[in-house]
Amino acid sequence: SAYLQEPNDKPSEKCGVLNMTKITENGKKVRKNWTSCWTVLQGSNLLFAKGQSAGSSWFGGNQSKPEITVDLKGGSAEWASKDKSSKKHVIEVKTRQGTELLIQSESDSLINEWHRALQDVISTHAWE
């Protein structure tokens, strides 16, 4: 698929494994379902492929398409308040389209890198 065959045309700014759950879809609250996802930040898009762990090959595997893609333009990515989750290191991502999701990692340094990367992307695309 186009996502995967042009690594040099569209380099990923960042990728890795994160835990993710949607909490709101099109403005409506949805039930949490924490899942380990291969996560890619590509331009202003944040892509998730579910069921992928660090050891499995997303690019070579049969799951060639991300399951969830959100556009960060006009959105936000802030540290989640305690009432959003009992987990540590949680970022709440909100999109202009009314999708809200939580991303989390057990690793403090890893989630800090993601927080910085998401903030960078959102400020870079702020006026689009």
Q: What is the size of the binding site for ligand I3S (CB under 6 A)?
A: 5
- Min dist CB 84 to ligand I3S, Å, is 7
CA dihedral 26, 117, 14, 114 (to 10 degrees): -80
Beta pairing partners, 25: 28
3-state SS record for the chain: CHHHHCCCCCCCCEEEEEEEEEEEECCEECCCCCEEEEEEEECCEEEEEECCCCCCCCCCCCCCCCCEEEECCCCEEEECCCCCCCCCCEEEEECCCCCEEEEECCCHHHHHHHHHHHHHHHHHCCCC
Cβ closest to ligand I3S, residue 14 vs residue 84 = 84
Considering only residues 17 to 36 of the shown chain, the ones binding ligand I3S according to CB under 6 A are 32, 34
Within 87-126, which residues bind ligand I3S (CB under 6 A)?
Answer: 87
Min dist CB 98 to ligand I3S, Å, is: 19
Q: Which is nearer to ligand I3S, 22 or 73 (CB)?
A: 22
Binding mask 50-89 for ligand I3S (x = CB under 6 A): -----------------------------------xxx--
Q: Least separation, in Å, of the C-beta of 36 and ligand I3S?
A: 13
List contacts with ligand I3S (CB under 6 A). Answer: 32, 34, 85-87
